[in-house]
Amino acid sequence: MAEAEDKFRKLLEKQSKTLPEAVAEYKRRYGRDPPRGFDDWWQFAKENNVKLVDEFDGITEDLEPFWTLSGVEMRRRAYQVGQLPSIDLVRIQDGEVIDVQIEKAYKDTERGHRSLGFRRLLEKYQHKLPNMDFPINAKAEGRVLVPWEHTKYPNLTLQDSSGGVTSMVGDFTPDWRGRGTVWDAYRRTCPPDTAARQLYSSYRNPNADRPKALLGPANPPSDTFSFSETVDDNLDFCQNPWAHYAQGHFFSDWRTIPVLYPVFSPAKARGFADIMIPSHYYHGQNKRYTYGWDAVNLEPKEIDDMEIPWDDKSEVIFWRGATTGGGNTPPGFSPSYQRHRFLRMAHESSSANYTIVHASPSNPGTFVSTTVPAKDLNNDIMDVAFVSAVGSYPGGDEALRQVHRFADAVPLGKHWSYKYLVDLDGMSYSGRFMAFMASDSATIKSTVYKEYFSDWLQPWLHYIPLSTSYSEIYNIHAYFSGPSKSTLEIANTTSPITDGGKARKREGDEQLRKIAHAGKQWKKTIGRTVDMEAYVYRLCLEYARLWADDRDAMSFVL
C-alpha cells in the first residue's frame, strides 16, 4: 500500500504543466508529433482540471495497427464494419455528431445504447472535429481478433476492401452457428510457436455433468482446469492457454471479426484489436449502475441516499449479481466461468480448506497461521449470491442451485452497507465498478479486461486487486478485519484478545478505510465524466489523423 501510494504520487507530480512540456513528452513517448488539434485538447484538459494529461498510452497501443492502412482504406473500413451485426455507426458531420442509418449487409436486429453514450461524450467539442465515422460495438465483449499472420505479414493479406465487406469477412453470421468459437479465433492471433497455437479447441469439462464434484477446493491439484497463477488484465493467453477455460468471454455465442476493422468497445482482453472507449454505464444516469442516482435532477448526488457511516458498515464481503459470465459455444463450460467459480468457492457446502495468516490476538507483534474449512469462513465473512440465472448450465437450473447460492435482488444502494464490495467480470467488464469506487466502501476487483482508465488506477491504493483464483480473499479479509470467529476457535484461542490485538484490528480497519477513501477521491478527481470526455477527445484527434490521406499534415507542431 505504501509503495502504491508513492508510485501514484510520483505519477501525478511528473505530469506536464504546459503545452510545450506536453508536446515534448508526447514526442518522447511516441516518436512523432501530436495530432492536429492537440492545443485545443490541452486547453480543454486544463480548463477541466484533468490530472493525468500524459497518460494515454492505451490510445496509441489501440491505434498502432491501423497505421499500416492508408487513409482511404481506414475510411472505407470504418463504414464497412458498420454493416456487420451489432455495430452502430456514429458520425461527425460538419461539426455535429449524428447516428448513421446504414443498410446492413447481414441480418441485424440489435441497436445498442453504447452508441448513444459515445455521442454524449463528444457533444462539448464536436464542432472542433473533422468529419469521420466511429463504428461502436453494441456488445460488451471484444469483437476484433485478427490472425497473427495478417498482422505480422500485412503484405500477404488483402489490404484493399474496395470489394465490400462481404469480400473481407465472407459468409458472416451474428453468432457462430457451429462454424467456430471465440477461442478458435483467438488462438489464431497467437504466434505459431505459442502453446495456444498447438491446441485444437476447448475440451469439455469432465465434471460438467457432475455439479457436486465442483464443490471441492477451487483449484485442487488434480483438477483438469486448475490454475494457480495470477490472471489479470495483462495475461498472455497465447502462452497460458489453460487460463481460457476459466474466462467466459472465450465461450461467447457472438461471432468475432477476423479483419482489422476499427471497432470501438468498452473493454478488451489482451489479444483483441478493439479500440477502447468509456462504458456508457459509467457516465449515464441509471439506478442500477450510478452511485447517488437522482431520478429528479438527473445529476448524481455526491452522497448516495443509502450511504451509511464507515463504522456502521458490516465487515462481511458482499456480492450480488446474475450468472452472466459467458455464452454457450461450445456448451458445458459455464461451471468454470468467473462468477460461478467465485460463488462455489463461497458456498456454505464447500469442502476446501484455507490457511489463514493472521495477527496473534494474544501475542502482539507476532503472526500465526490457522487452517480453516472454507464453509466456516464463508459463514463468517461471505454474503455472496446470484439473483438470477441467464443461459444454460449442465444439469439445468436445479443443478445450478445445488452448488450456487441464490438470494433476492437488492438495490444498488444496499451495497453501501458493507465495507468490502467484490467487483467481478460478467460477459465482459463490470458496469458497476465506477459506482463502487464512488461509494464509501472498499472495492475488491478481479478482472482480465483492460479499460480506458486502466493506466490511471493504482492497485492497493484505489482498490484491492484480486486474482481470478480468488483464493487470497480470505487472507485479505483477515489482514484488514482480523481473524474470523471460526479462525479463532480453530486456533484454540481461549485467552481474551489483548489491547495489542485490538490495536492491530483498528490499524487494519484504518488501512481498509484509507483504500475506500482513495477510491472515492479517484472517482471524484480522475474518474469523472469530464475525464472520460478528455480521453475520447484525444482519441478522436488520433483517429482523425489516421483518416487523412496526408497524415503529416494532420500533425500539430508548435
Residues 6+ apart with CB under 8 A from 80: 161, 164, 165, 168, 261
Residue of 156, 167, 143 whose CA lies nearest to 261? 143
Residue 108: pLDDT above 90? no
Residue of 265, 230, 485, 473 whose CA lies nearest to 352? 473
Q: Residue 503 — very low, low, confident or very high, per pLDDT cuts 50/70/90?
A: confident
Report whether 171 contacts 84 (CB < 8 A). Answer: no
Residue 76: pLDDT above 70? yes
Kindly give the pairing relationship between strand 367-373 and strand 464-465.
unpaired
User: If DSSP codes are grouped into helix, strand and coil, which group holds residue 443?
Assistant: strand
Greatest alpha-carbon span in the chain:
80
**What gap in Å lies between CA 161 and CA 94, rounded to an integer?**
26
Residue of 3, 5, 47 whose CA lies nearest to 461? 5
Q: What are phi and psi of 136, to 5 degrees?
A: -105, 125
| Average pLDDT over all residues of the chain | 91
Starting at the edge strand found earlier in the chain, the sheet holding 275-276 runs 96-100, 87-93, 132-137, 264-265, 275-276
pLDDT in tens, 287-301: 999 999 998 888 899
pLDDT at 205: 54
Q: Is 63 left (phi over 0), alpha (psi -120 to 50) or beta?
A: alpha
**What gap in Å lies between CA 78 and CA 4, rounded to an integer?**
40
Measured CA to CA in angstroms, residue 221 lies from 109, 217, 225, 228, 345 at distances of 46, 9, 9, 9, 15
pLDDT in tens, 155-193: 766 678 999 999 999 989 999 999 999 999 999 999 999
pLDDT in tens, 9-32: 999 999 999 999 999 999 999 999
Most confident of 150-154, 465-469, 539-543: 539-543
Residue 171 exposed, middle or buried by CB count within 10 Å (0-12, 13-18, 19+): exposed
pLDDT in tens, 521-541: 999 999 999 999 999 999 999
Task: Work out the number of other CB atoms within 10 angstroms of the CB of residue 9.
Answer: 12
pLDDT at 207: 55
**What gap in Å lies between CA 169 and CA 42, rounded to an integer?**
39
Residue 224: pLDDT above 60? no
Task: Work out the number of other CB atoms within 10 angstroms of the CB of residue 199.
Answer: 16
Residue of 322, 348, 332, 351 whose CA lies nearest to 218? 351
pLDDT in tens, 244-277: 999 999 999 999 999 999 999 999 999 999 999 9
List the beta strands (DSSP E) in 101-190: 132-137
pLDDT at 491: 87
Q: Residue 138 — very low, low, confident or very high, per pLDDT cuts 50/70/90?
A: very high
Residue of 338, 331, 320, 321 whose CA lies nearest to 249? 338
User: If DSSP codes are grouped into helix, strand and coil, which group holds residue 171?
Assistant: coil
The structural domains of the chain, ordered by start, are 71-280 (no CATH), 285-534 (3.40.50)
Measured CA to CA in angstroms, residue 266 lies from 307, 344, 427, 453 at distances of 28, 28, 12, 11
Task: Work out the number of other CB atoms within 10 angstroms of the CB of residue 375.
Answer: 19
Residue 43 exposed, middle or buried by CB count within 10 Å (0-12, 13-18, 19+): exposed
Report whether 329 contacts 252 (CB < 8 A). Answer: yes
Residue 221: pLDDT above 80? no
Measured CA to CA in angstroms, residue 389 lies from 219, 247, 321, 400 at distances of 24, 18, 9, 9
The secondary structure of residue 450, as a DSSP letter, is B
